[in-house]
Amino acid sequence: MSTRAHKGRGAVSAPVGRFEQRPVELDADVAFEQSQQAPATIVRAMPANSIISTNNSPDIPFDQSINPYQGCEHGCVYCYARPSHSYLDLSPGLDFETRIFYKPNAASLLLNAWEKKAYVCKPITIGANTDPYQPTEKVHEITRQLLELFLKHRHPVNIITKSNLVVRDLDLLTELARLKLCSVAISVPTMNAELKRAMEPRIPSAAARLSAIKQLAENGVPTSALIAPVIPAINDHEIESILEAVAGAGAEQAHYIFLRLPHEVQDIFTDWLATHFPDRRERVMSLIRQASGGRNYDSRFGVRQTGRGAYAEMLASRFQAGCRKLGLNTEHYQHALDCERFLRPGAQQLGLDF
């Protein structure tokens, strides 16, 4: 399999998805030629059958989530959502960040779900897998359409993003926050511009994200920061400096997630390491295995997000000490929201001050 770093792309390879039964073997010359070409982004509509995903994982702090997009142009090489592209017979590598699908019927599906008598109002997280504020959101505004419904029907919502585009919706978020109906978590895994360009190439700069945290906090939107992921010997030395920066910007809470390498992400990540950090490749993978019971990834609940062993304990200790020093809350992953205001579609709409 050919590997090559392309400007603006995270993955350096396009491995076949794990469900592909009859992979196409290209002629060696054709495969090489394709590997030299910078892949363009293709965005297509993909109407969904349902919009709310549910989970009962004990280490995930929400029961319901929505992903307006499948695939993510941000191109984060470490993204644990990459394997989802295998279900489309597309590569979790370059295809994941160049073949983007949006859900044009997301808003109508959400209303349909809320109309059901059996529906129980619980906070919904937008952006649990792919970023709801990736570049195509500027055009299609699926996330904004959803937020308009969350406000209209007084339904609590949590947002996770790596983009400062979230402040475009400050008008909606401010009103939702006033009613105790929203929180925002912004991920800042590095302050190093060069590392960002290689690791998460199409994400706004750390400075832009810190500015977004500041604007949200100043407008009363409960805002937390994520260091996600922490990667051994790549960005683990930045924990304290990131915490200081996000606290200075106004974040109330902070959390971190250890690097996760499910399914095809293992090869995508190791290919990336070999391309960008060949001198550190073995050191990085050794530390990952130390925190994963001797494997490249330990997928068990309670372990997969923090790791285990001496190295993982050292990371946790540094993180907790940094948060205590800066007054950052680490107890609750997301802010408590009000589920009592929910107006089921068709119910009488009340004023904004109720």
Could you tell me the pLDDT band of residue 8, with boundaries at 50, 70 and 90?
confident
Q: How far apart are CA 70 and CA 142, in angstroms?
A: 12
237-263 per-residue burial string, b: 16 or more CB within 10 A, e: under 16? ebbeebbebbbebbbbbbbbbbbbbeb
Beta-bridged to residue 184, according to DSSP, are 159, 223
pLDDT at 35 over 80: no
User: What does the pLDDT look like over 56-113, one tens digit per residue?
Assistant: 766 677 789 999 999 999 999 999 999 999 889 999 999 999 999 999 999 999 999 9
- Which helix (H) or strand (E) element contains residue 28? helix 28-36
For the domain made up of 32-326, the CATH class stated in words is alpha beta
Q: Tell me what pLDDT residue 37 has.
A: 59
Tens of pLDDT, residue by residue over 148-198, are 999 999 999 999 999 999 999 999 999 999 999 999 999 999 999 999 999
Give the mean model confidence (pLDDT) for residues 16-25. 58
Residue bearing the bigger pLDDT, 240 or 297:
240
Give the integer Cα–Cα distance in Å for 217 and 177: 10
Residue 126: pLDDT over 80: yes
Average pLDDT over residues 297-303: 75
70, 3, 77: which is closest to 259 by C-alpha?
77
Q: Which pTM does this prediction carry? A: 0.89
Helices 142-152 & 106-115, crossing angle to 10 degrees? Answer: 30
pLDDT at 36: 52
CA–CA gap between residue 124 and residue 63 (Å, rounded): 7
- Neighbour-count burial for 341-351, b at 16+ CB within 10 Å, e otherwise: bbbeeeeeeee
For position 216, what pLDDT does the model report? 98
* pLDDT (0 to 100) of residue 29: 44
List, in order, residues 6 or more apart from 207 with CB less than 8 Å away: none
Degrees, nearest 5: CA angle 62-68-70: 100
Spatial CA neighbour of 132 closest among 153, 154, 112, 150:
150
State the pLDDT at residue 24: 47
Domain locations in the chain? 32-326
Using the CB atoms, write b or e for 40-66: b if 16+ within 10 Å. ebebeeeebeebbeeeeeeeeebbbbb
Q: Which two tokens stand for residue 79?
A: 């993204």
Distance of CA 191 to the CA centre of its chain: 17
Task: For 259-294, give the DSSP string.
Answer: ----TTHHHHHHHHHHHH-TTTHHHHHHHHHHTTTT
- pLDDT averaged over the chain? 89
Strands 53-54 and 64-66: antiparallel
Kindly report, residue by residue over 210-269, the tens digit of the pLDDT.
999 999 999 999 999 999 999 999 999 999 999 999 999 999 999 999 999 998 999 999
* pLDDT recorded at residue 107: 97
CB 247 within 8 A of CB 328: yes
Average pLDDT over residues 120-131: 94
